[in-house]
Structure 1
Amino acid sequence: MSYNNDDNRRQLLGRLSRRLAYTAPVLMLAVGGGAALQAAAEGSLSQAGKAAMADLSEESWLLASAHAEGGAEAEAEAEGEAEAEAEGEAEGEAEGDVSDVQRPEGYSPAYSEDGENAPELLARGEELYYDTSLSTNGLSCASCHGSDGNDMGYSATFEQPFPHEVAMARDQFGMDKVHADEMTQICMVAPMAAEPLEWGGEQLTSLAAYMVEVQRRFAGEPHGL
């Protein structure tokens, strides 16, 4: 095929490149193969044949270019979507559900953060502090924070009375300060990989009361342990 008018030819090629961009490699093979077979059969090409092949070569090159550009754009778009999805998943994994660990509306704690908790409540809290059955991975509170009064794994902010800042609460749940029961819930759902304890229940109340005294001991203040 040949054209006397170069502008008409280029307009046609433009339409072909848009419609057939993704079939360009096949077209190139077909055109190239057909031309080669024709040349082999005839042994030589006329001047008109050479001109036709030049036209076809230009068409093939334009179509291949359109195909390459379209493929590169599609690949770049796919990579961008994959990166955005990966970032979104990573952010989702770094954030916890604050409703699991934050005091619910209408909740009233059955322990005191002023250090006025009954000895039996503290004794029960100490039992639970060492209880690995509260977790799903074999951990207890003592696994991370020490036993027999050897307090460890606390930041300097733990020297402050409740409510105070806790790095895990800030980083994973967006909470600036936490009460003792909220800190207990955070330890339950994060490092101990368990369900939060019942708000106002015996286990959460006892553990929170016990942690109030641990905080006092860590800060070097009088405590009931």
Structure 2
Amino acid sequence: MSQHDEKRRKLLGRLNRPLAYSAPLLALVAGGAILQATASDSSTQLEMTPVSKTSLLLASNHAEAEAQGEAEGEAEAEAEAEAEGDAWAEGEAEGEGEAEGEGEAEGEGEAEGDAEGGPNAGVARPDDYSPDYSETGGNPREMLARGKALYSDTTLSTNGLSCATCHGSEGSDTGYNATFQQPFPHRVAMADDQFGMSEVHADEMVQVCMVAPMAAEPLEWGGEELTSLAAYMVEVQKRFAGEPHDL
């Protein structure tokens, strides 16, 4: 077989493969003709067959439709991705909004709690509290003795202080303002400045000292420690004012 015949055979083999209406086919028909191969037992001929405008239009439309379909598919995929992104962003925003709302609600709840309890919660007399000591005097000797011992007890605080650390003991009575000369209830500067209490009873004064300088929790309302200390302070106040007392 000659070299020319071998080339022609390979060309015929390529032309016999199915062709799709795509960009390569349009390249073949761009000149208005397609290449046809016809074979017989004795010879093979290559012919250029004219292509009608209708055929060219169909091929062109097919290619355009294919390209348009691909473009629409890409646009649809982008739209879906964008929609998913928007949905995710909305979900994040809703989550942040809920978290912010919960935070604001919690803050409002705390603020309401402070408003209900007040800035002096814990050191002011509870509504259902009734003292077991007399603020005018005449309290039992045993109660006063217990109060005197607690007045110097550093274990009541968390920082090693006691009432006597600031106010002395055994009749020294230091560290009181002039307002302490007035009977209870009266104004105490620390209670007014730190807790907004314009005046305090003896037991409230004890609680203010427990929470502020002594850095401890308030004593139990109605308990033996608070009752004894308050009764003792009633007599200390009388002594400081130069009045008769039971100490």
TM-score by length of 2: 0.52
- Over aligned residues, Cα RMSD in angstroms? 0.9
Picking from 160, 177, 201, the partner of 1:138 is: 160
**Which residue is 1:180 aligned to?**
202
Distance 2:119 2:227 in 1: 21
Distance 1:149 1:123 in 2: 14
One-letter amino acid matched to 1:157: T
Percent of paired sites with the same residue:
75
Distance 2:136 2:192 in 1: 23
**Which residue is 2:246 aligned to?**
224
Distance 1:112 1:101 in 2: 19
Distance 2:144 2:215 in 1: 24
Any conservation in 1 of the 2:202–2:231 contact (CA below 8 Å)?
Answer: yes
1:94-173 map, 5 Å: 97-173=119-195
Deviation at 1:147, TM superposition (A): 1.4
Deviation at 1:166, TM superposition (A): 0.2
**Which residue is 1:57 aligned to?**
none
One-letter amino acid matched to 2:208: I
Distance 2:222 2:133 in 1: 9
More helix by share: 1
More strand by share: 2
1:1-225 map, 5 Å: 97-225=119-247
Deviation at 1:106, TM superposition (A): 1.1
Count the aligned residue pairs: 130
Runs of at least 4 residues of structure 1 off by over 4 A? none
Distance 2:138 2:170 in 1: 22
Deviation at 1:97, TM superposition (A): 3.7
Distance 1:131 1:97 in 2: 27
Distance 1:198 1:220 in 2: 31
Distance 2:158 2:126 in 1: 24
C-alpha distance after superposition, 1:85-120 (max 9, x if no partner): xxxxxxxxxxx9401100001100000011110000
One-letter amino acid matched to 1:190: A
Any conservation in 1 of the 2:119–2:196 contact (CA below 8 Å)?
Answer: no
Distance 1:213 1:219 in 2: 10
| Structure 2 unaligned blocks of 5 or more | 1-117
Distance 2:166 2:240 in 1: 15
